[in-house]
Amino acid sequence: MTAPAVVQLSTTGQPVVPVPVVPVPVVPVPVVPVPVVQEWGRRAVTVGLLAAVGAVVTSTNRWWTAPPAVAVSEGAAVMSRAGLVLSREQSSAQGQGSSQGQGSSQGQGSSQEQVPGPAPSGSAGRPELPRGGRVLLPDYRLVGYCGLTGSNELGRLGVGDLDARVTEMLQTGLLYAGRGADGDRPGADGRTLMPVLELITVVAKPVPGPDGRYRVRVGDDVVAAYLAAARRRRALLLLNIQPGRAAFLDEVRSLERWLTEPDVGVALDPEWAVPAPYVPMQIYGHTTGAELDDVAAYLSSLVQAHDLPEKAMVVHQVDRSVIRRSAGLRRHDGVVMIKVVDGIGPPAAKVSAYQDLVTDLPGGMRTGFKLFFTEDRALGSVLMSPQQVMALRPQPDYVMYE
């Protein structure tokens, strides 16, 4: 069929050569159903797909436009993350060990792996925190790095040599320690620096695995190596859990041999706790105050049974929907609960997210703040300085870098 011609007139009114109008085929753009889109392109395939066509990416309370270049980078990070957990799982011996609770122990190291020693203890022989004493807050201010060896995408702690990263982390921590602090003595605010290594110990993944739980556990050898590195620098080790479809309490119980140590706590990341039929990286996961309370009660029982110092229980939150019915979380003896706000983006957006998510805290819960070396600097933004972080109210008890 011949394209219709358009008669054009020159400025003198004379006709010019007709220019055929060539029909341009319209390429349909598939609609990707996203019940709740992940924040600012971070490790979510759905966000990478949307942003690749210049779409606007939204979380519950803010909008961002992600340019294609950023989207491609984030999409590559997503696939790298997926490849990491898949290769880690495939390289593990099949059928090793069994979990306590639901599911098999994927990627689990040998149960005979030795706990590195010695554990910190006081003059009376009672277990103590890495830098002395048995009270974590308000005596200390926690500053740490998060990550997992072999993955740049999962945080700074996994980049390069582990001891080098811990040394860098200590230098960063001194910026928060207060005037006159040297890492051992308290600063002007009366608080001493407590370095933290937050190891991602249970990694959510986009495929089910043999037990259908959409997560893989790192081996005991990995946990032992990080605990040894922490003890060399008198730091606290937190075991971060991204449960997929597993239950938080089951995953925490599977780590009991480590949690009976005086310098090991947990960090729960409920944005990766998803119900069926969803899988991690599709939607925000969520938990409830009652589920968190079960974990806190279990940790309290370990503290009492083993005469441990206060044990940290960190809960990460990126959006209000991630923690539901928080009133179900209560105080438990020996457990220090800290909510870390994981807002991503420029300083104004991070401060807004923090102010929004630290209101109406359950009884006794303290606050923390997370900074992202890569994502916070995207689109020409800057990483918040320690002075800006310490100006937040309430002032964070735990500052974590990923």
Tens of pLDDT, residues 277-323: 999 988 899 999 999 999 999 999 999 999 999 999 999 999 999 99
Q: Residue 317 falls within a domain, yes or no?
A: yes
pLDDT of residue 327: 85
- Rounded to whole angstroms, what are the CA distances from 340 to 193, 230, 313, 328, 355? 18, 21, 10, 18, 12
Q: Residue 111 falls within a domain, yes or no?
A: no
Task: Provide the 10 A C-beta neighbour count for residue 395.
Answer: 14
Element (H, E) at 222: helix 220-232
Tens of pLDDT, residues 213-223: 999 999 999 99
Beta strands in 342-397 (DSSP E): 366-371
Q: What is the 3-state secondary structure (H, E, C) of 159-198?
A: CCCHHHHHHHHHHHHHCCCCCCCCCCCCCCCCCEEEEEEE
pLDDT of residue 14: 53
Local structure of residue 59 (DSSP, 8 states): -
CA-derived radius of gyration, the chain: 25
Contact 285, 110 (CB under 8 A): no
Q: Residue 344 falls within a domain, yes or no?
A: yes
The tokens for 78 are 């997503």
CA atoms within 13 A on the CB side of 137: 21
Q: Residue 65 falls within a domain, yes or no?
A: no
Residue burial 187-200, b: 16+ Cβ < 10 Å; e: rest: bebebbbbbbbbbb
> What would the DSSP string read from start to end of 83-146?
HHHHHHHHHSPTT-S--SSSS--TT---TTPPPPSPPPB-TTS-B--TTSSS--TTTEEEEEEE
Q: Which residue stretches of the chain have pLDDT < 50?
A: 1-12, 16-17, 19-111
The tokens for 177 are 């320690």
Q: Is 65 helix (H, G, I), strand (E, B) or coil?
A: strand
Element (H, E) at 363: none
Local structure of residue 362 (DSSP, 8 states): P
Alpha helices in 243-372 (DSSP H): 248-253, 256-259, 289-306, 347-357
CA atoms within 13 A on the CB side of 85: 25
| Full residue range of the structural domain in which residue 231 is found | 120-401
pLDDT of residue 112: 57
pLDDT of residue 42: 42
pLDDT of residue 15: 52
Mean pLDDT of the chain: 77
Q: Residue 5 falls within a domain, yes or no?
A: no
Contact 236, 230 (CB under 8 A): yes
Q: Residue 11 falls within a domain, yes or no?
A: no
How far, in Å, CA of 110 to CA of 223, rounded?
A: 11
Q: Which amino acid is at 260?
A: T
pTM of the model: 0.76
Q: Residue 2 falls within a domain, yes or no?
A: no
Tell me how many domains the chain contains.
Answer: 1
Contact 236, 261 (CB under 8 A): no
How far, in Å, CA of 363 to CA of 353, rounded?
A: 20
pLDDT of residue 76: 36
* Region of residue 7 (left: phi > 0; alpha: psi -120 to 50; beta: else): beta
Element (H, E) at 147: strand 140-147
- Rounded to whole angstroms, what are the CA distances from 344 to 49, 152, 372? 19, 17, 7
pLDDT of residue 13: 52
What's 308's domain CATH number? 3.20.20
Place of tokens 């916070």: 376
Q: Residue 395 falls within a domain, yes or no?
A: yes
Contact 147, 117 (CB under 8 A): no
